[in-house]
Amino acid sequence: MKRVVITGLGVVSPLGNDVTAMWERLLNGENAVDTLTKIDISQYPAKVGAEVKEWNIDHLVEPKEARKMDSFIQYSILAADAAHRDSGLDVKAIADDVGIWIGSGIGGVETIDKQASILHERGPRRISPFFIPMMIPNMASGQVSIYLGAKGPSNCSVTACASGTNSIGEAFKVIQRGDALAMFAGGAEAPITPLSFSGFCANKALSTNPDPNTACRPFDKNRDGFIMGEGAGVLVLEEYEHAKARGAKMYAEVVGYGMSSDAYHITAPSPEAEGGSKAMNEALRDAGIRPEDVQYINAHGTSTPLNDMLETKAIHNVFGDHAHNLAVNSSKSMIGHLLGAAGGVEAVITALSIHEGRIHPTINCETPADDCDLDYVRDRNRELDIQYALSNSLGFGGHNATLAFAKVND
């Protein structure tokens, strides 16, 4: 099997639209959660979110073409362009061997929201001819492929909040079996719209704490729901020998991928955490490593009562006594839950953690709940020599996905 390394990183995030800015702010424990501005919060029980600010793609795409793209597509192009530049990969020289796999949990809900209003208010003849290609989730991959000129395998995983992680895992397998030399992989989401926000409020998934500074508190006993975020995370995955031959920088190696289904409930995790446990065990098995080889887990860590408790339980199930030796953190404590983009951005963060030998804190975890008893890297960032790390994503429908990463060793 081919080895697969990460040679480029790109993000659009509530903490900044470039990797360096986001990383420094994460290490400093800066909080991107704030009172929402994109919707009229007076109508909703939830008041805060983590919005992307000050972004545009006019320098990359003609404004006329950009208007045909939902924001989640634009985020994807921005993140993919940054990852491309970071990697130094000459895509056009190997276009047939470069693919795209960018997932989205919801796709163009912004477009759906706007066009539904137009249908109701002005009738079917006023619907945009670009409605369908603006809202279908696969169009992030499609438009990035067009932008980069990548002609290899192109696909899109739609597995709710596991979409980004599944997309990276599947892209990893494409390269591992020799079907591509490089893949741009990750996730994108732009869900902060009246329609989407109404739905998450209706199912009581969101925190109703109106204080932006304390609303998102993974693993804390006072957590009451997740904070909606938005953005995109894209990584360049590359076959190791190809990357080595061109002298590419290598952030980390992708060594394992596991996924499972709870087969239990459309929104709640299974009560014994079998699904999350199986995904982590499969990733370890695929990587050929033991539980005790792992030093760090970037947790799903949503700040919802059930998720945090059951993810902690899954970690205990898989790692046994070694669970208390692990450093575990939640990026969502600062950037909110990016839904289908979460796995992409968190994979970027995990790769950086390995490469830099440092992990960011989990903020607002002031008093861990009794059933959340791991080392959640509270208060401040930490230096850590990471040989192996996992990144977890769990999605509505019972989808579980885990990626295993390693320090690159020749």
Catalytic residue numbers read 161, 300, 337
Name the DSSP letter for residue 270. Answer: P
Name the DSSP letter for residue 253. Answer: E
CA 349 to chain centre: 9
The one-letter amino acid at 267:
T
Q: Which residues contact 230 (CB under 8 A, 6 or more apart)?
A: 14, 49, 50, 51, 52, 71, 75, 189, 190, 191, 192, 338, 339, 341
Query: Strand 182-189 and strand 98-103: pairing?
Result: parallel
Buried b (16+ CB within 10 A) or exposed e, 127-144: eeeebebbbbbbbbbbbb
Residue from 31, 30, 40, 80 nearest 60 by CA: 80
Q: Count other Cβ atoms within 10 Å, centred on residue 343.
A: 38
**Element holding 27 (H helix, E strand):** helix 19-27
> What is the Cα–Cα distance from 66 to 60, expressed in whole angstroms?
9
CA distances from 273 to 316, 347, 394 (A): 10, 22, 11
> What is the Cα–Cα distance from 352 to 183, expressed in whole angstroms?
18
> What is the Cα–Cα distance from 212 to 50, expressed in whole angstroms?
9
Could you give the 3-state DSSP secondary structure of residue 159? coil
